[in-house]
Amino acid sequence: KQEVTQIPAALSVPEGENLVLNCSFTDSAIYNLQWFRQDPGKGLTSLLLIQSSQREQTSGRLNASLDKSSGRSTLYIAASQPGDSATYLCAVKATDSWGKLQFGAGTQVVVTP
Amino acid sequence: EAGVAQSPRYKIIEKRQSVAFWCNPISGHATLYWYQQILGQGPKLLIQFQNNGVVDDSQLPKDRFSAERLKGVDSTLKIQPAKLEDSAVYLCASSLGLAGGPETDTQYFGPGTRLTVL
């Protein structure tokens, strides 16, 4: 059974510092891995999707890496801003599933001005 | 482009009562998902539809939860009777399809319905 873990559960950084968020998964047989952002009282917003054949994906200040063999993904957010404050969740889609995502519990990020 | 719509946004009920949630996915999206998110946890898939057929309902407590997607568009999730442990946010999401790359795989989420069972 796939287990997805995100450590730490919460993180506080001063504005301008780079953010590093970690995600680990137990079964390397994945189809893709996705990073989402969740703001309080709102749904999830997809940030990046990395296919299993890719090593990384970039969008603006966001960069996500994937190491399937070690069961790890890292989301980097460069030059953090107060608007980056949110909960960040990673989710994996298994190769034998019909699109079902297995989510981690998320990392709550606070960026202080 | 309109996003995924859900209603109601909030619902408070007594245990053993029934409740229903409604979801309207993004136009043209064939796949629709219902997730349950308990406070402090990641979302857990309850049921997944491809058009109006069920693809995965392995984690749906079928003795009390039911869902339908008539005509392959809107969907309704029902709980009857509700238990205290059903207190959670119920999220609906949609995507273009099951497989084929990032464009079809990316799931778009609605704002959710926060259910409190007293």
Do residues A100 and A70 lie in contact, with contact meaning Cβ atoms separated by under 8 Å?
Answer: no
Assign B101 a pLDDT band (cuts: 50, 70, 90): low
Determine, for residues A105 and B93 on separate chains, whether the beta-carbon distance falls below 8 Å.
no
Do residues B115 and B19 lie in contact, with contact meaning Cβ atoms separated by under 8 Å?
Answer: yes
Do residues B87 and B117 lie in contact, with contact meaning Cβ atoms separated by under 8 Å?
Answer: yes
For strands A107-112 and A56-59, give the pairing: unpaired
Query: Would you say residue B115 has pLDDT above 70?
Result: yes
d(CA B32, CA A78): 33
Query: Measured between alpha carbons, how far is residue A5 from residues A29, A68, B40, B45, B104 in Å?
Result: 16, 14, 13, 17, 26
Determine the pLDDT at residue A41.
Answer: 81
Assign B112 a pLDDT band (cuts: 50, 70, 90): very high
Phi then psi dihedrals of residue B104, to 5 deg: -90, -20
Q: What is the pLDDT of residues B50-100, one digit of tens each?
A: 988 998 999 999 999 999 998 889 999 999 999 999 999 999 999 987 566
CA B1 to chain A, closest CA, distance in angstroms equals 15
Sort out which chain B residues have CB atoms less than 8 A from A105's CB and list them. Answer: 40-42
Q: Where are the beta strands (DSSP E) in A6-112?
A: 10-14, 19-25, 30-38, 44-51, 56-59, 62-67, 72-77, 86-94, 101-103, 107-112
Smallest Cβ distance to B98: which of A43, A46, A98? A98
d(CA B61, CA B40): 21
Sort out which chain B residues have CB atoms less than 8 A from A51's CB and list them. Answer: 101-102
Smallest Cβ distance to A49: which of B42, B105, B114? B105
Sort out which chain A residues have CB atoms less than 8 A from B56's CB and list them. Answer: 97-100
Within the 23-82 window of chain B, which residues sit less than 8 Å (CB to CB) from chain A?
31, 33, 40-45, 48, 50, 55-56
Determine the pLDDT at residue B26.
Answer: 95
Determine, for residues B91 and A32 on separate chains, whether the beta-carbon distance falls below 8 Å.
no
Within 8 A by CB and 6+ apart from A53, the residues are none
Cβ–Cβ contact B94 with A under 8 A: no
Residue of B nearest to A43 (CA): B111
How confident is the prediction for chain B on average, in pLDDT? 92
Q: What is the pLDDT of residues A24-74, one digit of tens each?
A: 999 998 989 999 999 988 889 999 999 999 999 999 999 999 999 999 999
